[in-house]
Amino acid sequence: MTFDHTPHPTPTSPERLQEILASPGFGTHFTDHTSVIDWTAEGGWGDARVEPYGPISLDPAAAVLHYAQEIFEGMKAYRHADGGIYTFRPLENARRLNRSAVRMALPELPEELFIESLEELVSTDKAWVPDGDGEALYLRPFMFASEAFLGVRPANAVSYRVIASPAGNYFGGELKPVRIWVSRDYIRAAPGGTGAAKTGGNYAGSLAAQQQATAKGCDQVLFLDPLRENAIEELGGMNVFLVTADNRLITPALTGTILEGITRASVIQLAKDRGMQVEERQVTLEEWDAGITDGSITEAFACGTAAVITPIGELLDGERRIASAGTGEVTLSIREELLGIQTGTGEDRHGWMHRLA
Ligand SMILES: *Cc1c(COP(=O)(O)O)cnc(C)c1O
């Protein structure tokens, strides 16, 4: 499929772009274009195009607005010293998008079309990729049911799009450990549910818990297992790791209620490469608490594309407070290694980087 390009009527001026890139923030400014591919049950995927960024005209009865038939991905593009724009493991995002699609009864998008949609957008809006420390162009592919129909069934018309937004450091400024609120009133996912799909509904369901966290002065929410065994699952949008004094990494196993983070998988690989033992298993709050107390657990961190790797400073579970050491050495070292690969300053042993433009 070849992408049709429409010239942009009013592109952002070079001066305005410089202003935006000087302090990009996160998810507030969007590039001049968007990649679009439409799907119908009769015709399949077609009409691939790069068009000017702007509001979408949607019928008020569009299924996504009523039944949330929607999925998305999140990735970053980095400007390397060779002038190229690279992204990290995009085929993994393509595959995960399709696993989410199957769960949400949306059509699967051929992997090569997914990659092409990124290449087309990033080469068109190449000037928007920032090159400051910790900065990148955040790419947001998403797919939604656009058919106007109020009956409950998978939609026969779907739209896939990619938007892009210059991104600074996710939690702003220096690497500071985050405070986490343990959600006791709400769970994120249950067996057989949609927890392993990257779908908006999981986020909608996490917002009330996030409100509680914010009210308690915390940055993020930690969700526990749905069976009330006090096992940790993940944050609203990041996976969790514990580091032990004897150089092991512990992270909750993927049991269908946790999102399979690509950062998570990459951290596991990098840890194994350096000879660390990685345990993917059930881990409870009690084990975390006891480990901090007796010194067997030395660090905790969260990971995901947006914030890469962020140390967890403390955990608030009602009256109980579980405090980790500030920013641990292992956390910092894995973070540096991963960022090195992504930004092109470190060796890409696993061939994870893909040149987009
Ligand atoms: C996207 C996401 C993650 C992190 O996945 P990455 O591929 O590492 O960015 C973790 N948890 C949830 C719920 C997510 O939606």
Are the C-beta atoms of 80 and 135 separated by less than 8 Å?
no
Residues 339 and 192 in one domain: yes
Distance from C-alpha of 262 to C-alpha of 264, rounded to nearest angstrom: 5
Task: Specify which residues 274 forms β-bridges with.
Answer: none
What integer best gives the mean pLDDT of the chain? 95
pLDDT tens digits, one per residue of 208-224: 999 999 999 999 999 99
Contact between 263 and 295 under an 8 Å Cβ cutoff? The reply is no
Domain end position, chosen among 125, 145, 168: 168
Q: Domain boundary residue among 108, 135, 168?
A: 168
Burial class (CB in 10 A: 0-12, 13-18, 19+), 220: buried
What pLDDT sits at residue 14? Answer: 94
CATH number at residue 24: 3.30.470.10
Query: Domain ends where: 142, 168, 194?
Result: 168
Count structural domains, the chain: 2
Query: Given the CA of residue 264, which atom of ligand 1 is nearest to it?
Result: 8
Q: Evaluate whether residue 12 is within a structural domain.
A: yes
Residue 266 Cα: closest atom of ligand 1: 8
Query: β-pairing, 44-52 with 4-5?
Result: parallel
* Ligand 1 pocket, residue 76 CB under 6 Å: no
238 lines ligand 1 (CB under 6 A): yes
Residues 276 and 211 in one domain: yes
State the pLDDT at residue 6: 76
Q: 28 and 116 share a domain?
A: yes
Q: Residue with the nearest Cα to atom 14 of ligand 1?
A: 237
CB count within 10 Å of CB 295 equals: 10
Q: What is the pTM of this model?
A: 0.96
Flag whether 348 is in a domain.
no
Domain match, 96 and 63 both: yes
Q: Are 196 and 256 in contact (CB under 8 A)?
A: yes
Distance CA 87, CA 93 (A): 11
**Is there an atom of ligand 1 within 6 Å of 188 CB?**
no
Q: What is the pLDDT of residue 137?
A: 97
- Determine the pLDDT at residue 98: 98
Residue nearest to atom 2 of ligand 1 (CA): 237
What is the extent of the structural domain holding 231? 178-343
Structure tokens at 122: 């990033």
Rounded to the nearest angstrom, the distance between the alpha carbon of 86 and the centre of ligand 1 is 20
197 Cβ inside 6 Å of ligand 1: no
Q: Same structural domain for residues 62 and 205? A: no
What local confidence, expressed as pLDDT, does residue 120 receive? 97
Is residue 95 domain-shared with residue 235, that is, in the same domain?
no
**Measuring from atom 13 of ligand 1, which residue has the nearest CA?**
237
User: Which residues of the chain, if any, have pLDDT below 70?
Assistant: 170-173, 325
Give the pLDDT score at 173: 58
Distance 295 CA to ligand 1 centre (A): 29
Same domain, 328 and 240: yes
Residues 119, 227 within the same domain: no
CB 142 within 8 A of CB 161: yes
pLDDT at 132: 87
Which CATH number fits the domain that encloses residue 207? 3.20.10.10
Say if residues 112 and 151 touch (Cβ distance below 8 Å): no
State the first-to-last Cα distance of the chain, in angstroms, to the nearest integer. Answer: 18
Q: Is 263 in the pocket of ligand 1 (CB under 6 A)?
A: yes
